[in-house]
Amino acid sequence: MNTVPSSTYFSAPPEWGWLIVFYFFFGGLAGGTYFLAVLIDLFGRAEDRPLARLGYYIAFPCVVLSGLLLTLDLGRPLRLWHMLIESNTWRPMFKLWSPMSVGSWALLIFGIFSLISFLGALVEDDRLEWPAGRRVRPPGVLSGLIGVIGGLFGFYVAGYTGVLLAVTNRPIWSDTPLLGMLFVVSAASISAALMILLAQRSRWTMPGVLALHRMDAWVVALEFVVLIAVMISLGPVFRAWLSAWGLLLFFGVIVVGMLLPLWLYWRKQSGDLNLTTEAALVLVGGFILRLVIVFSAQGV
Amino acid sequence: MAEPMGFYTDTTVCIGCKACEVACKEWNQLPSTNGGLNTLSGDSYDNTRRLDGIHWRHVKFIEQFTDDRKDGRWLLMSDVCKHCVNAPCLEVCPTGAIIRTEFDTVVIQSDTCNGCRDCIAACPFGVIEVNPASGTAQKCTLCYDRLQGGMEPACSKACPTQSIQFGTIRDLRNRAQKRVEQLHQTGEKRAYLYGADEKMLGGLNSFYLLVDKPEVYGLPPDPKMPTRNLKSGSWFSVFGALAVGLMGIINFRNRGAGEHDQEERR
C-alpha cells in the first residue's frame, strides 16, 4: 500500500449494512414525502389536498420504521436513549457538530410533527374524531406553522445522513462534501415517485398528480447532475467505483433510475396518464443509490 | 489535570515478540479469537492482522521481500490508539461515551457506548472496532485504570527492548528527538517522527519513530478531522433543499394550464 488516493484509506469500515441502507431509504421517504406534502399544502390548490394527506400518511410510518431500523442496528439497542440523554449525568446529550447527535434529536422532533400531521390528515379524511385535529390542517396559522417547522425537520432528516457519511474518515463518504445534497435531492425524487405510484393506485386524477410528476422529472434531472458532480468531486478516489459497485451505480442508478424515467417522461408529454413505470424506476434507482454508497465505501 | 501522558514507539528497535499484545490482553482481560485455537493468516508471520475490539495492541509485521526472496527486510511496529489531542472519534461520538481523561488520553466508556459505530468510521487510523462480547466500540485506554493507580501501561511495562516507551509527552518528545539525531548521525537518514508535533490532529499522544513513508506502515500520511466536511456538506444540502423547494413551488403554483384543462376535459 505505497500509494493511495486519499488519507481516508486507512480507516476501518463501521459495518453499517442492510439495516442502514433501508434506513437511508425510508428516512429519505419520510422526510421527502412530508416536505412535498407541506409544499402541496402551502402552494397547491384545495383539490390537491388528498395528495398532501397521502404524503403525511407515508411520512409517519416511514419515520417509525426508521427509528426501529436504527435501534436494531445498534450494538446495544436498549441504550438507544443514550443518544438523547447523557447516561451518567441525566443531562440532555447534544453535539451540534456531530450529525448523528443532531440527527437523533431531529428524528425525534420530526417524528412528533409527522404524527401530528398524520392525525390531522386522518381527521380531515373523517377517519378519526379529534376536534382539535382540524386546526392542524390548512387553512390557518397553526397548520402553516406546523407545516413549515415539520417540513424543515423533514428536510434535515432527508439530508443529514449524507452529511453524516461525509463527517467520517471513510473513503468516498468523506472525500466529497456533496452526499448530503445528493440525498436531499434523491429523497425528493423517490418521495414524489412513491406518491405518484400510490395516487395512481387510487386512480386519483387531480392536477396535483401531474404537477408532482413533472416536478419529479425536474428533480431526477437535478439528481443526475448532482451525482455527476459527486463523481467529479471524488477526484482520484473515483477509482474505487471502477468496480462492480461502479457498474451497479451506472446501470442501476444512472440508467434505470434516472435516464430511463426521464426518457419515458419526455415521450409521454402528450398527456398519457400512466406514470407508474417511471415512478417505479425512480424508486428502484433511489434504493440502489443508497445501497452502492453504503456498501462501496466499506469494501475499499 | 496531570501532565499529558502517552507512548513513544521507536519502531527501529521492535523485535516483533508481541509481548505487548499479550500483556495488553492479559491486563484488560480481552478474549482470544476462535476460542483460543490458532487462526493463521496464511500469508504472513503476523497472525493478529489488525487492531480491533479485542486487539488493542498489534505488532505490525511489514514483510518486504523480492519475488525470489533473495533480498528483503522486516519493518516492525507496535500499533495502538494514537490518543489524538484533537480526536476524531471523540468529536463525532453522539452518546458522550468517548472522553478525554486527566492524563490527556482518549477513553471509551463501555457502559455509555451504545454501539452506533460512528467512531469506527471517524478514526483515520482504523483503531476502533466493536468487541463482540460487549457489543460496544472498544480500543486501547492507555491503561487508564493502571495510570490512576500510579502504574505504567501493561504494554510498555512488558516491552523488552524499550520500543514502547511511556511517559509525559514533553519528556517523550525530547527523548524521541535525540534518538532521531542519533540515527541520522549513524547513517540512518530516513528516521523521522510521526505525529510528535501539533500539526497532526493537534499532536498524537502516541507517536512513532519511522524509517519509511507512513503508508508503508499502514498509517495515513495526512489524517484529518471528520468535521472538515460539516460546513460545506450542510450548505450544499441546504442548496439542494432550496432547489427542490423551488421546483415544487413552480410546479404546484403554475401547474401547466394545458395539463389541467386536458384533465378537466376528460
Is the domain of B98 the same as that of B217? yes
- Residues in contact with A214: Cβ distance below 8 Å, sequence separation at least 6, in sequence order: B251, B255, B256, B259
Q: What is the pLDDT of residue A132?
A: 84
Residues with Cβ within 8 Å of residue A158, at least 6 apart in sequence: A27, A28, A30, A31, A32, A35, A183, A184, A187, A188
Is residue A88 within 8 angstroms of chain B, CB to CB?
yes
Alpha carbons A107 and A84: distance in angstroms, whole number: 11
Which residues span the domain enclosing A72?
14-296
B264/B189: higher pLDDT: B189
A87 touches chain B (CB under 8 A): yes
The neighbouring-strand residues paired with B65 are B72
- Average pLDDT of span B213-220: 96
Question: CB of B225 within 8 A of CB of A167?
Answer: no
Q: Which residues of A2-17 are buried (b: 16+ CB within 10 A; e: fewer)?
A: eebbbbbbbbbbbebe
B194 and B243 part of one domain: no
Give the dihedral sign, CA A58/A60/A64/A70.
positive
User: In this complex, do A180 and B266 lie within 8 Å of one another by their Cβ atoms?
Assistant: no
pLDDT at B53 over 50: yes
Flag if A87 and B112 touch (Cβ within 8 Å): yes
In one-letter notation, the amino acid at residue B239 is F
How far the first Cα of chain B sits from its last, in Å, is: 79
Residue A206 lies in a domain: yes
Same domain, B207 and B116: yes
Query: A80 touching B, CB under 8 A?
Result: yes
Given B191, B207, B224, the domain boundary residue is B224
Q: How many residues does chain B have?
A: 266
Residues B135, B156, single domain; the answer is yes
Instruction: Give the model confidence (pLDDT) of A137-150 as tens digits.
Output: 888 899 999 999 99
| Cβ contact A192:A36 at 8 Å | yes
Tell me whether residues A168 and B135 touch, CB distance under 8 A: no
| CA-wise closest residue to B161 among B12, B61, B60 | B12
pLDDT in tens, B172-205: 999 999 999 999 999 999 999 999 999 999 999 9
And the C-alpha cell for A123? 381527521
Banded model confidence at residue A266, pLDDT cuts 50, 70, 90: confident
CA distance B79 to chain A (A): 13
Residue A295: which pLDDT band, with cuts at 50, 70 and 90? Answer: very high
Per-residue pLDDT tens digits for B241-250? 999 999 999 9
Mean pLDDT of A264-290: 85
The residue among A118, A99, A101 whose CA lies nearest residue A30 is A118
Task: DSSP letter for B247, please.
Answer: H
Q: Which residues pair with B55 in a beta bridge?
A: B52
pLDDT, tens digit, 9 for 90 and up, residues A102-159: 999 999 999 999 999 999 999 999 999 988 888 888 888 999 999 999 999 999 999 9
**Chain B residues touching residue A164 (CB < 8 angstroms):** 118
Taking each helix axis from N to C terminus, what angle separates B230-253 and A179-201, rounded to the nearest 10 degrees?
A: 30
Nearest chain A residue to B262 by CA distance is A271
Q: How far apart are CA A112 and CA A114, in angstroms?
A: 6
| A163 in reach of chain B (CB within 8 A) | yes
Judge if B146 and B57 occupy the same domain: yes
The cell numbers describing B144, all together, are 487508564
**Residue A270 pLDDT more than 70?**
no
Q: In what order do the strands lie in the sheet with B164-168?
A: B164-168, B5-10, B206-210, B192-194
Contact, A50 vs A144, CB < 8 A? no
Tally helices (H) and strands (E) across chain A. 9, 0
Give how many domains chain A has, as a whole number: 1
Whichever domain contains A277, its CATH number is 1.20.1630.10
CA distances from B71 to B63, B212, B247 (A): 11, 17, 65
On whether both B49 and B150 belong to a single domain, the answer is: yes
Residue B250's domain comprises 227-265
For residue A4, is it within any domain? Answer: no
Q: Of B192, B209, B224, at which residue does a domain stop?
A: B224
Q: Are residues B16 and B79 in the same domain?
A: yes
Q: Do B166 and B257 share a domain, yes or no?
A: no
Instruction: Give the model's pLDDT for residue A73.
Output: 98
- Report whether pLDDT(A7) > 50: yes
CA A146, A148, A153 angle in degrees (round to 5)?
A: 90
CA separation (Å) from A123 to A61, A134, A282?
A: 17, 6, 31
Q: What single-letter DSSP state applies at residue A28?
A: H
Helices A207-233 and B230-253: crossing angle, nearest 10°? 150
- Domain contains A109: yes
Mark whether B157 and B253 lie in a shared domain. Answer: no
- Partners of B131 in beta bridges: B136
Residues B166 and B232 in one domain: no
ipTM of the complex: 0.95
Could you say which of B88, B115, B230 has the minimum Cβ distance to residue A74?
Answer: B115
Report residue A12: phi and psi, to 5°. -105, 150
**What CATH number is attached to the domain comprising B56?**
3.30.70.20
Tell me whether residue A3 is in a domain: no
Q: What are phi and psi of B33, to 5 degrees?
A: -90, 160
**Does A38 fall in a domain?**
yes
Residues B210, B244 share a domain: no
**Of A1-5, A54-58, A208-212, A228-232, which range is least confident?**
A1-5
Confidence of residue A12 (pLDDT cuts 50, 70, 90): very high
Establish whether the linkage from the previous residue to A139 is cis, with ω within 30° of 0: yes
Distance CA A278, CA A189 (A): 11
A162 contact residues in B (CB cutoff 8 A): 233, 237
C-alpha–C-alpha distance, residues B123 and B223, integer Å = 9
Q: Identify the H or E element spanning B14.
A: none
Probe site for chain B from A10, A200, A300 (most B CB atoms < 10 A):
A10
Please state, in angstroms and rounded to a whole number, the distance separating the CA atoms of residues B156 and B147. Answer: 12
Q: Is residue A250 part of a domain?
A: yes
- List of chain A residues whose C-beta atoms are within 8 Å of the C-beta of residue B130: 15, 75
pLDDT band at residue B5 using 50, 70 and 90 as cut-offs: very high
Compute the distance between CA of residue A33 and CA of residue B218 in angstroms, rounded to an integer.
45
Shortest CB distance from B248 goes to which of A39, A104, A165?
A39
What's the confidence (pLDDT) of residue B37? 79
Residue-wise pLDDT for B124-155, tens only, equals 999 999 999 999 999 999 999 999 999 999 99
Mutate to test the interface with B, among A20, A36, A79 (most CBs of B within 10 A): A79
Q: What is the DSSP letter of B56?
A: S
| A167-194 mean pLDDT | 98
Residues in chain B within 8 Å Cβ distance of A75: 113-117, 130, 134-137
Stronger pLDDT, A110 or B252, i.e. the higher one: A110
Q: How many CB atoms lie within 10 A of CB B142?
A: 27
Decide the pairing of beta strands B164-168 and B192-194.
Answer: unpaired
CB contact under 8 A, B92 and A98: yes
pLDDT at residue number B1: 64
Residue A176 lies in a domain: yes
Residue B266: which pLDDT band, with cuts at 50, 70 and 90?
Answer: very low
Please report the pLDDT score of residue B253 as a whole number: 82
C-alpha atoms less than 13 angstroms from C-alpha of B136 in its C-beta half-sphere:
19
pLDDT for position B246 = 95
Q: What is the pLDDT of residue B260?
A: 45
* Count of structural domains, chain B: 2
Q: What is the mean pLDDT of residues B70-95?
A: 97
